[in-house]
Amino acid sequence: MTVRRILEAEPLRLFMGFLLALVLFAAPAGAQGRTFYVQSDGDDLANGLSPERAWKTLDRVNRAELAGGDRVLFRCGDIFRGHLEPKSGRPGAPVYYGSFGAGEKPVLEPSYDAGDPARWTQVRPGLWRCVQPSSKELGNIILDHGEAGCAWKVDRPDLLSKDLHFCWVREEGAVYLMSPGNPGQRFSSVELAENVHVIAEAFAHDVVYEGLWLRYGAAHGIGGAGVQRIVIRCCDVSWIGGGTLYYDEAGRGVRFGNGIEFWSAAEDVLVENCRVWECWDAGLTHQSSEADKLQKNITWRGNEVWNCEYSFEYWQQGDGARTENIRFENNVCRDAGKGWGHVQRWNPNAAHLMLYDTTAQTDGFVIRGNRFERTENCCIRLFNAWYPSITMEDNTWIIPRNQLIRYHGRPTADLVFKYPDHLDFTHNDDVREIESQTVETPLVLGHGRRAVRRMAKRFGFR
């Protein structure tokens, strides 16, 4: 299905830009560099240049002076607490973060282990307290490594009323959790997720991540603005988000968290063959609200996403913003809205493709060869008429009972946002969330072949 044919001159230009990215990242390390090893029984005072002299912690990795062509390898099967602050390489010689040895992918997790029963003190029957000083909010509690799901976050202690409700009291550096018994005895693991990105890559360039497992961060799995020449390959990202982004006038905390996000400017990015699941918001996304930012040559391909509120999210606003050559291809997206965050949201609005209001000049946006299966709300949510910039073709839609698409025909200019991420419970436009008027009645298309034909007719697909 094609919304708009790209201009005759565009394919060559777009192909050359993508070919350049492939050349840059054909080899994991590019130029010859040093290799550093990290393992859970290592020593941060060692030089890190062999498994026998491996470093131990992410803090030591973050302090390292790395250069283009250097490699940092984490031992498979090990768990590393904290977050990663990557160093930048140079064109043709990225800094490479990967793994060595046999076994499961090495785990990076910025969470605190609260599984010891001694860490919990009973405040009163049914209410327990765990002291965990942290510079950031503790935004989620993951139980039994996700087998028992997550606790339910509330904003204040007086709102604690049900089993597994919790809140974080910054002034005390403590978590309060409702439970009939000691949480450390009730669950085999209790992870307190801190409101940080597992990988914080702001303004990083020329970096490759491969074969890592990122989990239990209450912000994003990978997040940062202003990146260039980034490759993320064969990584797992799970149980992400839940931290508070901001509070509205009523004091209600609005939570967030994407699996892999590129914010603001981003160029020459490749994300392939990754698995992403159980994210509060989107599994995969690039987005921006800043003026004059360019998002260019971003490719998502061969990834598997499930149990996220949105499988893929895109929007860009801001005067002078541009988006060029985006490829979302050959991905498998399943069960949007089946994750832990959907039931806790005040605005459940699951979609495989969440295409929010976009005012940026957008060219060469291709969604091709993907498989979309099942959703709690709809498959596609499109908010304004930038769809002539989208090419859709050869996608498979398996949406047996819910809507295929909801289109809200909001204007592409002069939008004044109050809370751009808010939708009301019925998914209608609301002046409390966006202070502009809908220019046409929202269009709802159901599932099945007839709906596909109607969508093709309505949007000019072929």
pLDDT reported for residue 356: 87
Reading the block at residue 418, the tokens are 């109050």
- Percent of the chain past pLDDT 70, that is, above it, reads 84
Give yes or no: residues 204 and 289 share one domain.
Answer: yes
Residue 5 lies in a domain: no
Backbone angles phi, psi at 279, to 5 degrees: -110, 140
Helix (H) or strand (E) holding 384: strand 378-384
Give tens-digit pLDDT for 228-283: 999 999 999 999 999 999 887 777 888 999 999 999 999 999 999 999 999 999 99
E-strand ranges in 170-259 read: 174-178, 190-194, 199-200, 205-210, 213-215, 222-223, 225-233, 236-240, 243-247, 253-256
Give yes or no: residues 330 and 200 share one domain.
Answer: yes
When divided into structural domains, the chain yields a total of 3
Amino acid, res. 198: V
* pLDDT at 10 exceeding the cut of 80: no
Residue 219 lies in a domain: yes
Angle at 224 between CA 221 and CA 229, to 5 degrees: 100
Reading the block at residue 145, the tokens are 């490594």
Reading the block at residue 390, the tokens are 């989208």
* Neighbouring residues of 431: CB distance < 8 A, sequence distance ≥ 6: none
Least confident of 132-136, 218-222, 361-365, 392-396: 392-396
Residue 321 lies in a domain: yes
Give yes or no: residues 261 and 151 share one domain.
Answer: no
pLDDT band of residue 11 (cuts 50, 70, 90) is very low
Give yes or no: residues 169 and 202 share one domain.
Answer: no
Give yes or no: residues 160 and 73 share one domain.
Answer: no
Name the region of 146 (left: φ>0; alpha: ψ -120 to 50; beta: rest): left
Residue 143 lies in a domain: yes
Residue 58 lies in a domain: yes
Give tens-digit pLDDT for 30-48: 458 999 999 999 999 999 9
> Domain boundary at 134, 160, 192, which?
192
Q: Are 379 and 355 in contact (CB under 8 A)?
A: no
**Which structural domain range is residue 382 located in?**
10-30+196-459
CB atoms inside a 10 Å sphere around CB 332: 16
pLDDT band of residue 410 (cuts 50, 70, 90) is low
> Domain boundary at 147, 165, 192, which?
192
pLDDT reported for residue 459: 67
Name the region of 344 (left: φ>0; alpha: ψ -120 to 50; beta: rest): alpha
- Percent of the chain past pLDDT 90, that is, above it, reads 70
- Computed from CA positions of residues 151, 155, 157, 158, in that sequence, does the dihedral angle turn out positive or negative? negative
- Grouping H, G, I as helix, E, B as strand and the rest as coil, residue 119 is helix
Give yes or no: residues 326 and 233 share one domain.
Answer: yes
Give me the chain's average pLDDT, please. 87
Dist CA 242 CA 175 (whole Å): 14
Q: Are 325 and 18 in contact (CB under 8 A)?
A: yes
Residue 215 lies in a domain: yes
Dist CA 269 CA 197 (whole Å): 18
- The half-sphere exposure of 233 on its side-chain side, counting CA atoms within 13 A, is 16
Give yes or no: residues 70 and 145 share one domain.
Answer: no
Give yes or no: residues 150 and 279 share one domain.
Answer: no
Task: Enumerate helices (H) and strands (E) in the chain, giving the number of each.
Answer: 5, 37
* pLDDT at 200 exceeding the cut of 90: yes
Spatial CA neighbour of 352 closest among 334, 369, 339: 334
* pLDDT at 20 exceeding the cut of 60: no
Give yes or no: residues 164 and 207 share one domain.
Answer: no
Give yes or no: residues 73 and 151 share one domain.
Answer: no
pLDDT reported for residue 129: 98
Give yes or no: residues 80 and 141 share one domain.
Answer: no
Where do the H-state alpha helices sit in 44-154? 58-63
Least confident of 16-20, 70-74, 167-171, 310-314: 16-20
Residue 1 lies in a domain: no
* pLDDT at 78 exceeding the cut of 70: yes
Residue 439 lies in a domain: yes
Name the residue with higher pLDDT: 397 or 312: 312
Reading the block at residue 223, the tokens are 């997040």
Name the residue with higher pLDDT: 318 or 82: 82
Name the residue with higher pLDDT: 89 or 425: 89
pLDDT reported for residue 426: 33
Give yes or no: residues 67 and 201 share one domain.
Answer: no
> Domain boundary at 192, 218, 238, which?
192
Reading the block at residue 425, the tokens are 């419970």
Spatial CA neighbour of 90 closest among 204, 202, 199, 201: 204
Give tens-digit pLDDT for 91-106: 999 999 999 999 999 9
pLDDT band of residue 404 (cuts 50, 70, 90) is confident
Dist CA 74 CA 214 (whole Å): 12
pLDDT reported for residue 373: 95
